[in-house]
Homo-oligomer: A and B are copies of this chain.
Amino acid sequence: MHVPGEKKYIQQLSIDCVIFGYQQRQLKVLIPKLDFTGDFWALPSGYIQQQEGIDQAARRILEERTGIKDIYLEQFRVFGATERTNRPYLEQLIQLNEEKIGNQHFIRQEFEWITQRFVSIGYYALVDINQVIPQKSEIDESMGWYNYKELPTMIMDHNDMVDKALETLRLNIDQKLIAFNLLPETFTMKEVQELYEAIFDKPFARNNFQKKILDLNVLERLEKKFTGAANKAPYLYRFQK
């Protein structure tokens, strides 16, 4: 969590990021734990510097969190209701952190920043989890990749944000050819299909799925992958262009 100086950042405007990754056939979201006593969670957030475009700000925030420079991201919606606060959740946080909030200047400042009226620009990002380097980023035990179906409760309307981000992802995935941002450099067709099945939470017919993806004309076929399994080895593909 970054606390803004008085005029360094645009006031009352933040960026919240839904960072999607894919692992073990599951679509996951990167969620950090808040630096308070108790288990409180929030999407990776940040603020917009005066001399910084909003996409640029989102890119910076994402790099700080994941260590990845060239990241696919897209704004999907602004959240600006007056009552975005998840009251019971916030009150629990306050109760468990009364001392901390009262005594420590830094924490109090951060807390006030959190409880102000805020408008948030939601961005979603697609990341190859294996490229996310824990050493070079803030990722540690306090941060986790959660299956989107089993997210912890987060502050504000952050759970709604994930829903809306996923909805937008589903709408845009074919049109913008962005699914491959979630996969490693090379992959099999089966892996692509399993990714789609994770995203849409439904099965696809293998024969037609393969045709549909190949008809996009964005994949380059490499040599076969020798899996060691007792069956025909699949081809490897790579996203081109």
Question: Residues on A close to B: CB < 8 A?
Answer: 10-13, 48, 50-57, 75, 77-78, 80-82, 117, 119, 121
Contacts and interface: CB of A to CB of B under 8 A. Distances in A.
A16 to B, nearest CB: 13
Nearest to A118: B10
12 contacts: A11-B11, A12-B13, A13-B119, A48-B80, A52-B82, A53-B80, A53-B82, A54-B119, A55-B80, A55-B81, A78-B121, A80-B121
Nearest to A49: B82
Contacts of A51: 82
* This protein's copies in its complex: 2
Contact of A75 (B12, B50, B57, B78): B78
B50 A117 contact: yes
Contacts of A10: 11-13, 117, 119
A53 B82 CA distance: 5
A98 to B, nearest CB: 26
A60 to B, nearest CB: 13
A154 to B, nearest CB: 20
A13 B48 CA distance: 12
Closest 10 CB pairs of A and B: A54-B80, A53-B81, A10-B12, A53-B82, A11-B11, A78-B121, A13-B13, A75-B78, A78-B78, A53-B80
